[in-house]
Chain A
Amino acid sequence: MAKRKSRINFFYLPAVIVMLIFIAYPLGRAIYLSFFQWNGYSSTMTFTGLKNYQSMMTDNIFFVSIRNTLIYGFGSTLCQQILGLAPYDWLAHPGSAIMLIVIINSWQFVGVSMVIYLAGIQGISTSYMEAAQIDGANAWQRFRYIMLPLLMPAISSSVIYNLIGGLKLYDVIISLTQGGPGKMTNSLATYIANRYFDAERAGYAAAIGFFSFVMIMIISTIVNGYFRKKEVEY
């Protein structure tokens, strides 16, 4: 049985090979680049050690981008029910532009959560609900004590997916504000693009990219751990 258990690992080989070639190698290369000064296209690169990481510490826009990334990530995940849009030039002010970006991103991805929940709910056998009803549980109790715990895997998938999507937010910001006004709505993702293409600092962009990867990983590991504790076995 133990041999059978380890032979099952062959089933994930194709997936792992594809991801090694198209993700792991490029990521390794990005980390390598983050120790160089490079404009993104010339054939000469200068090794500068940790200088790119040091420049992050004195870069105000970098910290603004971190703050915005957190707002986009958590804001979009939490915010579901903001209804009215007042007649007001939202994009002219950083504060309201950030809020508008959060709303549009939530609008776009509530559907995704719905699909995940629907699949989760359908995976729950109706016999559990019937048994609880026979035992005299009311609708709320059936929801709270039967459905919600069994739905935990779906909830954690959905929250993690939305959170990561929000923390990586790029296209909505580019098309609405291009990171402006005054670079104040940049997320880390758009700031990477800005440094890479506009400032031609590819090495610095790679360093920010590596930083954002580590930051998102830490946040989602913590959130994932929280939900794992709430899952039940049955």
Chain B
Amino acid sequence: MKALARLKRTRTGDMFGDSGIKWRKKDWWKYLLALLILAIYLFPFYIIFNVALRTMQESASLLKLPSEIYFGNFQKVISEGAIFNGIKNTFIITFGSVAVEIIIGCMAAYALARNQSKLNEVVRSLIMSVMMITPLTILVGVYSTMASLNAISTYWGMIVLQTALHLPLVIMLYTNFISSIPPALDEAAAIDGANLFQVFWNVILPQLKTVTVSVIILSGVSTWNEFTYAYYFLQKANMKTITLVIQTCFSAIMNDYGAAAATAVIGMLPLAIIYLFLQKYFIKGQIDGAIKS
């Protein structure tokens, strides 16, 4: 949270030409508003911790703390161990697909942003139209593709599928960003004898740091929490991702909300840690920009 506050202050400082980082009295309402928004955002987390730390028999309202803090849900989930295998699977799939998306996504965006021919306008709008497909529409077709490639219940199959689904968003973000880099930079490098790949590698790539952090966060979070496709294509018990492990707490016989909440809490920790780590790069990217200009 400290990092966020610092980020906010440096940003206003930069954008509006004020110097120094100081508490300004006339801005009190901004801090109040921020606190209010923060409270709204933290409320669901309060509820989920509250459910995870109470017994099934607890009668106190969900808004109040349970009469006795109960660690049984966490003990049960940890001793069963399915969640750790789930985190491993989710991590491999998320890391793999985000890495592939970044590589082939920014390559594609480079071509689409720099060569705006009629053909590429068509390619671009076809790629964007993929975002508009509701997942279940193409389920049957995806299933037969995956089955014929022996990709069901494999890491690589899920990684490539997630990549295909997220590429439109990744390409959109990169294309918008690369379009804002002056083409004169490319031309100068070309005159100096750089080939297309060298221009891409030496001129374009170094500028993509901040937008890449957005891509990692947007695409990473949505892969981490993906449920629909994981449900159909990760059928083996040892391939289950976190969302599928949570689902096993709900059955026709009994809904174990406590275990589900405890699993969810453990399952979101790695993501929260990665996010805090990435946030530093937001600030860093910004300072780099300030120094350059």
Contact = CB atoms under 8 A, between A and B. Distances in A.
B112 A30 contact: no
Interface residues of A, number: 69
Given A15-B104, A118-B282, A189 B131 contact: no
Contacts of B36: 83
B163 A18 contact: yes
A18 B104 contact: yes
A12 B137 contact: no
Q: Is the interface of A mostly helix, strand, loop or mixed?
A: helix
Given A16-B123, A121-B11, A193-B136, A22 B180 contact: no
Nearest to A133: B17
B277 interface: no
A4 B110 CA distance: 13
A33 interface: yes
Name which of B112, B120, B136, B176 has the most chain A CB atoms within 10 A of its CB: B136
Contact of A126 (B107, B161, B164, B290): B290
B228 A170 contact: yes
Interface in B197-230: 200, 210-211, 213-214, 217-218, 227-228
A22 B145 contact: yes
Contact of A23 (B15, B165, B227): B165
Contacts of B120: 9
Nearest to A217: B132
A7 B200 CA distance: 13
Interface string A76-103: 0000000100000000000000000000
Given A115-B217, A126-B14, A164 B180 contact: no
Contacts of B15: 121, 126, 129, 142, 147
A202 B138 CA distance: 11
A123 B211 contact: yes
Interface residues on B, range: 35 or more
Q: Is the interface of B mostly helix, strand, loop or mixed?
A: helix
Given A12-B107, A119-B213, A125 B140 contact: no
Nearest to B149: A21
Nearest to A210: B137
B130 interface: yes
Nearest to B131: A164
Interface string A201-231: 0100110011011001100100000000000
Contacts of B105: 15
B93 to A, nearest CB: 15
A53 interface: no
Name which of A19, A129, A196 has the most chain B CB atoms within 10 A of its CB: A19
A23 B173 contact: no
Contacts of A216: 132, 134
Contact of B196 (A4, A14, A29, A107): A4
A130 B131 contact: no
B44 interface: yes
A46 B173 CA distance: 43
Contacts of A122: 210, 282, 285-286, 289
B16 A11 contact: no
Contact of A29 (B40, B140, B290): B140
Interface of B: 11, 14-17, 36, 40-41, 44, 104-105, 107-108, 110-112, 114-115, 117, 119-120, 123, 127, 129-142, 144-145, 160-161, 163-165, 167, 169, 171-173, 176-177, 179-180, 190, 196, 200, 210-211, 213-214, 217-218, 227-228, 282, 285-286, 289-290, 293
- Return the 8 tightest CB-CB contacts between A and B, nearest first: A26-B141, A209-B137, A29-B141, A22-B164, A26-B138, A12-B108, A11-B111, A15-B108
Given A122-B286, A193-B136, A216-B132, 5 more contacts: A8-B114, A107-B40, A122-B210, A126-B290, A202-B140
27 contacts: A4-B196, A5-B115, A8-B115, A11-B107, A14-B104, A14-B108, A15-B167, A18-B104, A18-B163, A18-B167, A19-B127, A19-B164, A22-B145, A23-B130, A23-B165, A26-B145, A29-B138, A29-B140, A112-B218, A119-B177, A157-B173, A164-B132, A171-B228, A189-B134, A192-B137, A196-B136, A212-B134
